[in-house]
Structure 1
Amino acid sequence: MRRLPLAPLLPLQLALLLAAVAPEAPVSAPRSLVWGPGLRAGVVLPVRYFYLQAVNSEGQNLTRSPPGQTLFKVVIKSLSPKELVRIHVPKPLDRNDGTFLMRYRMYETVSEGLKIEVLYGDEHVAQSPYILKGPVYHEYCECPEEDPQTWQKTLSCPAKEPQIAKDFASFPSINLQQMLNEVPERFGDERGAIVHYTILSNLIYRRSLGKYTDFKMFSDEILLSLARKVLLPDLEFYVNLGDWPLEHRKVNETPGPLPIISWCGSLDSRDVILPTYDITHSTLEAMRGVTNDLLSIQGNTGPSWINKTEKAFFRGRDSREERLQLVQLSKDNPQLLDAGITGYFFFQEKEKELGKAKLIGFFDFFKYKYQVNVDGTVAAYRYPYLMLGDSLVLKQDSPYYEHFYMALKPWKHYVPIKRNLSDLLEKVEWAKENDEEAKKIAKEGQLTARDLLQPHRLYCYYYRVLQDFCMAWKQESEFTKRDRAARVIQKAWKSFLNVAVFQHFKSLINIRRQGEPRQILRYINPKEAELLDAAAGINVRFRLGGVKFPPEIYYKIFTHRHIEDLCANSPRDYTKLPAKHTSHIKSDNLQEEDYSGWYRRIENNGWRPVSDKFWKSTENVMVGDKKESEFHFSKLKRKQDIEKKRKIKKIEWMRQMYYTGTLEAKSTNHETLGLIHTATKGLIRAFEDGGIDSVMEWEVDEVLNWTNTLNFDEKKATENKQAQRTRFSRLLHRLLRTCSSLSLHDP
């Protein structure tokens, strides 16, 4: 068999591949290496990450995972104990080559900063702990960097992107007016999938053109995420949401090509390419909404190379005819290839002939040594994930490409196969016969993909495309008067919303201040409410705070009386002291007393954020001019206040019954009404003349109980029955008299 050519490996990466260290070599925590963007406060990402290289005591990099369970761990804390921040820190991802990937997702902004401890067991690794001075922003903080150059430098963005330079070579200058006129006319019909974006003052606007624009959610989310991190240039552009690139005009044609942004390019098109929606969405939703992302793949590459199954593997839809050929090859050569179609849509008539394969988790793909990458409708969006694994990728020759394809070379990062798959089995057999060379190509491709597909590189790429797009304009931001007016309106509306939000939060605080403090605290934090002494008396205060908008609401507990801390008088834990004994040995080397078990005062009553659910029930609630209820420290006084309120409520009800009640309207028993008037009139007059204290509560209760015993409905029903009987007897009597008179005159 002909020996296929191999591209030379880079010296540094070749040394890393060959410098194998015994897996049982011990790890040296101080000598191990830690680096990455997640150790810089200015690098704001949905999921922050950094890397760790395990090094042994001799200073050699481990190229295989340390034996046993991973002992590396990461602990992240806020620098200020008063700042409560929620951070998700999963276990490190073992990349099975001596390196580890550390990730964490922040859900709140930290003002003071973060302290990141990287530990091997209980020992600090490298320069741990790492201090990130605040503020450290989370993903959804509207905190853009005003200087784009500073932002690019912080992210270590590459100076050049070959694919971007190639794409904009077709557009040395862009006529904005021509683009705005022609794109809707050519591509904005009902079958189109075009979105018109306008960026003004870092605010993003869009207008959909065509019927199939549901995928705008993916372009929206990445643009909004980018705008939260850096100020974007003012510009207008069109994004193609469809699979196929649109612009096929050549540069020398008249009229020339139009600049349209797409997720996939081709050799015969002129679209400007951005990272696909698949990898941007998985980056935004990593550790939350998706399982397969550019980071998680690196820690789930299956068994080691020697333990992988020596077969080529494929699973996918029937989105291209070559995939059906792949399944037929698998049926004829099961010892070399395992391929199957998991869903039929384009070639449904082939399902009975070829069969339908069961779905399999993507991480399980890497149980096989060789991965076959065949195009779908366009470039297969699984390709970046396959390259991040440690299997050898057999890539079909294709006219389609993604944003990073230009950096990958055949026989260096992957093994090419013909478009008609005629040499696929030959390449699989070559890989089996040349196992070490195949392993080197797989490793080289994996290392390159790890560098190209880092999440922060995606943000750099997006910004660079927008920046070059703006620079290629013939005229500098020739926006219409309507666009300028929209900018003014948006600024005014934003300031109005800010005021409205503050007023809403203020109304929420005022509503809660009118409640009983213990009940409020019992709702906010039941555990703290149980610790309070009822006789101490408390007051819950609220305030607005935080470094983001809208602000957060914080609360703090204040007491009206002094609370004596009994533990403060006996700081020593006498239960743990050793028994005293007499010694005649005198020595000047006296050991210092151990204070570790003593009681220490810790401030635990700072300003704490209130949960959002506490305020949900207050929306759309109208509050009158009620005064804030005072909470008296005396339990007896509080009891008297409750009885007084109850008495007022009863007398008020009695007043309504006396003046405007229903008794006078419905009852015809004047004797009963007279009794009620006599009983209630005296109490009401005493209450009006002498106040609430001039009437005892038992007197009110006695009158109410007596009136309750008067069943007016029953009495009225009895009277109605008697009246009906009287009318019936009279009618019967008249009927009998009539009948008797008729009988007397009958001839």
Structure 2
Amino acid sequence: MIVLRKFNNFSLFILLILPISSKFNHSDAVDNESCYDKERPIDAKNKYLPEFNIEDGLYQKWSKIFDAIRLAHQNYSEPYIDKNNVTSCTLFLPSIDSDLRYFEENFGSNFITEELINKMIADNRGVHYQIVGKRLYRQSNCMFPSRCQGIEHFILEIIDKLPNMDLIINVRDYPQVGRYFSNDQQFPILSFSKEVTSYADIIYPAWTFWSGGPALDIYPNGIGRWDLIREKLLKTQSKLPWTKKKNIAFFRGSRTSSQRDPIVMLGRSRPDLVDAKYTKNQAWKSKADTLGDEPAKTVSFEDHCEYKYLFNVHGVAASFRYKHLFLCRSVVLNVESDWIEFFYPYLKPWIHYVPIDKNFDNVVEVLEFLNDNQLLASRIAKRGFEFIRDHLTMNTIRCYWQNLLTLYSDRIISYRPMKPDPNLIEIY
């Protein structure tokens, strides 16, 4: 069967070979779990199929979104995975280069002197760490001990491969190096997240890959180790094929940002499309903090997997939930934002997730589109799931830390301590 579909001012020809006596039917394909669990790999030859084997009426109804999806596929190349090197993080290294290049272009190579280190310590925007003789040292006080523990775990794992250096690592939620700061205040500080248009912090993998994270009633010590929760989510999603998930968009979280309000309000006006409620956090004082309702119960990540569509929207900074949602093998509805962690730029709209306008102007339209195109939705969920499963491993995190600190040392450091600062304590 040859299908001709017009996109803008040109035509896309797709040749699709089907069993002679069968007529393609979207509902039949979605009801068959093989389209979800045993789908053939998406490569250069078939990446447009069956997304663009669509009926005329359906295309006319959703032409704007179908055109956006086509363009996303045209501009996307599948990342290479070296099956023989599970410790590789090559895919993410451009982020390190970009972060360091900002400082090189503004201050030159190897500009970190002993004098600058002392200024950064006195400025107190982060925790002072020092690596000397393959040993790790830190200032005695850490504002968030579990966050420091998460950072130290990974540095200690690679300490034998690192040269002597001083580091200032921010463990607050908010970045510390505004691009609008005067040059004498733009220090090369490491932070887990930043808003890329306004901040120049050098991003490191968040402490939450090992410890810390938001303390909730069901996670009193934080969300927990990434490797352990990965295994839980992988097992959970394997028992929930697409056809068994609830056909609704879901959100549970605290009101750490008013950016999340439209999701909750939409849940009240369109409960047929959205189940979104605020939960209680440490700052909760009254129902005013949950937009007039009693706070909802916290929902585990495993229970999120029961829903086909999962909202992600930033809070104080980038949201820790983001990576977890993909492992539900549900469609992640990512609200547009300039807040990132190190891996965000490599997840692409309409390939790995569905973009939601930051003003929520398109959210109802998008949800109705996904409900009309279940096979397409399940394939986006699959690609997002596989990206996080394959690329965001603990080996990747170790690799990123090693490359980050090695390149930081090689490219912007000139001063190297020869003996530990006596004001620091050793971390084992």
Matched with 2:208 is 278
Partner SS, residue 319 of structure 1 = coil
Counterpart check, 1:215 vs 2:152: no
Partner SS, residue 354 of structure 1 = coil
CA-CA distance at 1:290 after TM superposition:
8.1
Whether the 8 Å contact between 1:249 and 1:256 is mirrored in structure 2 is: no
Matched with 2:164 is 234
Provide Cα deviations, 1:50-100, integer angstroms capped at 9, x if missing partner.
xxxxxxxxxxxxx959xxxxxxxxxxxxxxxxxxxxxxxxxxxxx95599x
Map 1:101-112 → 2, pairs under 5 A: none
Provide Cα deviations, 1:283-322, integer angstroms capped at 9, x if missing partner.
xx9xx97895233322211511012111000111111113
Whether the 8 Å contact between 1:280 and 1:458 is mirrored in structure 2 is: no
- The TM-score normalised by the length of structure 2 is 0.70
Alignment partner for residue 230 of structure 2, among 281, 286, 294?
294
Distance in 1 of aligned mates of 2:233 and 2:156: 26
Counterpart check, 1:408 vs 2:347: yes
Structure 1: unaligned runs, 5 residues or longer: 6-62, 66-94, 100-151, 495-747
Matched with 2:279 is 342
Distance in 1 of aligned mates of 2:86 and 2:132: 24
CA-CA distance at 1:389 after TM superposition:
2.2
Matched with 1:259 is 188
CA-CA distance at 1:483 after TM superposition:
3.6
Distance in 2 of aligned mates of 1:271 and 1:241: 12
CA-CA distance at 1:439 after TM superposition:
1.3
- The TM-score normalised by the length of structure 1 is 0.41
Counterpart check, 1:180 vs 2:130: no
Matched with 1:204 is 136
Partner SS, residue 259 of structure 1 = coil
Which residue identity does 2:231 align to in structure 1? L
Distance in 2 of aligned mates of 1:442 and 1:4: 24
CA-CA distance at 1:381 after TM superposition:
0.5
Partner SS, residue 361 of structure 2 = coil
Provide Cα deviations, 1:244-277, integer angstroms capped at 9, x if missing partner.
11001369x5337211111112111111111111
Distance 1:484 1:270, change over 3 A: closer
**CA root-mean-square deviation:** 3.6
Structure 2: unaligned runs, 5 residues or longer: 1-5, 9-32, 41-83, 213-220
Which residue identity does 1:369 align to in structure 2? K
Whether the 8 Å contact between 2:114 and 2:415 is mirrored in structure 1 is: no
Distance 1:458 1:435, change over 3 A: same
Alignment partner for residue 430 of structure 1, among 369, 375, 379?
369
CA-CA distance at 1:210 after TM superposition:
7.5
CA-CA distance at 1:242 after TM superposition:
0.3
Matched with 2:378 is 439
Distance 1:160 1:263, change over 3 A: closer
Counterpart check, 1:325 vs 2:262: yes
Distance 1:433 1:317, change over 3 A: same
Distance 1:290 1:439, change over 3 A: closer
Which residue identity does 1:327 align to in structure 2? V
Alignment partner for residue 94 of structure 2, among 137, 162, 175?
162
Provide Cα deviations, 1:136-195, integer angstroms capped at 9, x if missing partner.
xxxxxxxxxxxxxxxx97834528611111111112223232431322333x1xxx5x21
Matched with 1:309 is 246
Distance 1:362 1:200, change over 3 A: same
Map 1:391-402 → 2, pairs under 5 A: 391-402=330-341
Map 1:584-733 → 2, pairs under 5 A: none
Higher relative contact order (CA 8 A, sep 6+): 2
Whether the 8 Å contact between 2:278 and 2:295 is mirrored in structure 1 is: yes
Partner SS, residue 170 of structure 1 = helix
Distance in 2 of aligned mates of 1:232 and 1:357: 46
CA-CA distance at 1:359 after TM superposition:
2.3
Whether the 8 Å contact between 2:175 and 2:191 is mirrored in structure 1 is: yes
Provide Cα deviations, 1:99-121, integer angstroms capped at 9, x if missing partner.
9xxxxxxxxxxxxxxxxxxxxxx
CA-CA distance at 1:196 after TM superposition:
0.6
Whether the 8 Å contact between 1:184 and 1:209 is mirrored in structure 2 is: no
Which residue identity does 1:415 align to in structure 2? V
Distance in 2 of aligned mates of 1:195 and 1:485: 16
Partner SS, residue 270 of structure 1 = coil
Distance 1:321 1:207, change over 3 A: same
- Identical aligned pairs, as a percentage? 27
Counterpart check, 1:244 vs 2:174: yes
Distance in 1 of aligned mates of 2:226 and 2:387: 24
Distance 1:4 1:402, change over 3 A: farther
Which residue identity does 1:167 align to in structure 2? D
Distance in 2 of aligned mates of 1:454 and 1:212: 24
Provide Cα deviations, 1:654-677, integer angstroms capped at 9, x if missing partner.
xxxxxxxxxxxxxxxxxxxxxxxx
Distance in 1 of aligned mates of 2:144 and 2:86: 38
Which residue identity does 1:323 align to in structure 2? R
Distance in 2 of aligned mates of 1:305 and 1:395: 19
Distance in 1 of aligned mates of 2:390 and 2:88: 12
Which residue identity does 1:246 align to in structure 2? Q
